[in-house]
Structure formats: C-alpha cells, structure tokens
Amino acid sequence: MVISGSSALHGEVARVSSAAAVGLLVAQTLEQASVRWDEVSAILVGSDVEAGLPGWRGATVVVGPAEDAARMWVQASRLSADMVAVLPDSAQWLANYLTRLREPTVGTGIVGIVGGCGGAGASTLATLFAVGTAASEFPVLLVDGDQWGGGLDAAMAAGELPGLRWPDLANASGPINPEQLAASLPRPAGVSLLSWGGDTPDVGGYPEMPAPAVINEVMNAARAAFSLVVVDVGRSSESLAVLGVHCDGFIVVVPARLQAAAAAARLVKDLPGAPLGVVVRGPLRDGADIHQVGAAVGVPCIGTVPKVRRVADILDDGRAQELVKRRKVRQLNGDLLDWMAGHGTPAHAVAGQRRADQ
C-alpha cells in the first residue's frame, strides 16, 4: 500500500509495483489506510505524509521525489521505517525489495561495498563480511567487481584454486544455471569467489569487463544461488554502472578524515539509487565522532571498521577465518546484516563511538 496525496508519486509507485508483479492499494490519507492494515504486507509512506502509522508493525519504506530526500531521512527515523527510496532513482531497488516480500525464499540480497576514496579498505571489508557471514553456514558469494584492483584471488589466497573466473564467463550467452554457477566457482574459506584471476593478457594488463548482458545473467544466477552476495564494486564508472544496478544497497567505507568524507560525498551522488550506509575506518582523531563523518558524507553511519594488526598479511596467508572470530569483527558483520535486513542503524552505533583505537 502507498499512502500519499500525490498523484505523481502514485504513478511512480504503480510502475514499480507492476515491475515487481505485486498488487498495490492506494490511500490518500492515513484514515483511508488504517482500515486496511490486514490486507497488505508493506506500507510505502509518501514524503508528504506527516502523521505516524499507529498500529502498523510491518515493513515500512518512505518514498518520495529527489527534492524531498533530506526530510525523508528525518521522516524515516521518526517512523522507524526500514528504508528510504528516492524515486525514480531507487525504482529498481524498490522493485527488488517488493519482489523479496512476495517471494520470502529469496536470499538476503546483494550488497555493494565501495570505497569512498582510494585506499579506503573496501576490499578488506568485503572479504571480512563475506567470510564472517559464511561462517554462519549461509551460502555466500564474494564478487570482485574491480578489475583495476589488486584482485580478491590474492586477498582470499585463492590464486591456486581451480574454478571459474570472470574471463571464463565473458562469452556466456543466455540464462546461467544457478546451481552450476555455484558448483563451478572456487571456494576459499567457505566463501564462493568470482574474481578476475591472475592472468590478464588484455591491453594494458587488465581484463575487460564482460558485456552488460553477461553480467546481468551472472548476477541473476548469483541472486538465486546464494543467500548473500557481497560485491567489491570498485570505483570505476563502468563497474558502478553494470554491477551497481544489481545491488540492493551500498556500504561506503570512509576513512575518518575530512578530505575522505568530501570525496565520499561526491561518490555517493553517482551511485545507483539504493539505500546507503557508511562504515568509518579509523583512527578517529581530535574527538571526532563517527556520525560526524556520516553527516559530512550525507549518509547514515552503520559502524566502524575495527583495527586489526597486519590484516593484509593475515588475509594473504589464507587465515581470513581467524579474523572473523574476533569480537569486534563479528559485531560489525552483525550490524551490516541488520542494516541489510532493514533494522536500521544499530543502537550502539547511534550512541556514537569516540575510541581512538578504531
């Protein structure tokens, strides 16, 4: 159900609902809506609605146009809404969200991890999140979307493992069988991995991104085969365009520096429409608060990347599973899963963290 007095917003939501193959009830006012709570599985609250939703306990998404984006976040906090969808930019994400409500067997989803600036640590966070979630017996896929980076084969110590890499899929055509994809990938540290491999004979020494049609089929199969897909998106416009469109949300890794926050604020404007969260990488200095960093980026803060000594060496040695057993890493991974599930910003993150060792 959408609650709004805006006919333009009714039209935007109707197009999304049609794409998701879900029915839509339209209510102009809260009074019209409240008598039909039992008939719906989600409420889409228009940015023009000031009142709360007394008696409603289900999924809630605040929807509205780009010019209302700032107040929509405040409205979402007041309503304890699960997510915010700025339309039409977030139409694809909202369609995927509604589809998952209709088909609850669909997995947790696809999350993109992107560095707010160069060297932010996005690949490290993507690796820790994927390995940590897989430790809970969820089928997890880690996707290397950055052909310009150092490669997740190295980060996962998977260079010698047999299995498909991106270049092997470049000439694929038509739908890809989800079970065959999952069975064909290398599986280091309990995580299925789709990476670029070590041999890159293309011009300039870097592999070419597969055609968008191929990537679409790969990501569709991945969504069907895995409970969670973690995409190390990279910062190139190409990877953001062809892989980012499949992500149900983006986690932006931002070092706790003013220049890094400014760079991240520019980056998020280019991300496909989907929910955004910031994870801050310390150390925090001068009494800084993680939410000050999030405010500078313009995106709610989920948590902080814990300081781990020699993290790169530990990952290179193939000991990622040791790292994810640490309490602070487990806490961050839990926070990220809660955020993906629509539970909002964790309470301990809302309180703010000023510890200089994080």
DSSP 292-329: HHHHHHTS-EEEEEPP-TTHHHHHHTT-HHHHTTSHHH
CATH of the domain spanning 2-102, picked from 3.50.50.60, 3.30.2130.10, 3.40.50.2300, 3.30.1540.10: 3.40.50.2300
**Domain range summary for the chain, segments of one domain joined by +:** 2-102, 109-350
Neighbour tally for 215: CB within 10 Å: 22
DSSP secondary structure code for residue 240 in this structure: H
The residue type found at 284 is L
pLDDT of residue 87: 92
Angle at 135 between CA 130 and CA 137, to 5 degrees: 105
Give pLDDT, residue 173.
84
Residue 291 sits at the vertex; the CA angle it makes with 286 and 294, to the nearest 5 degrees, is: 110
Peptide bond into 283 cis (omega under 30): yes
State which residues of the chain have pLDDT below 50: 105-107, 200-203, 345-358
Of 350, 342, 347, 346, nearest in space to 58 by CA: 342
DSSP class of 284? -
Q: What is the pLDDT of residue 288?
A: 65
The CATH label, of 1.10.10.60, 2.60.40.10, 3.20.20.70, 3.40.50.300, for the domain at 109-350 is: 3.40.50.300
Q: What is the pTM of this model?
A: 0.70
CA distance 52 to 55: 9
Stated length of the chain: 358
Q: Which residue has the tokens 């963290």?
A: 353
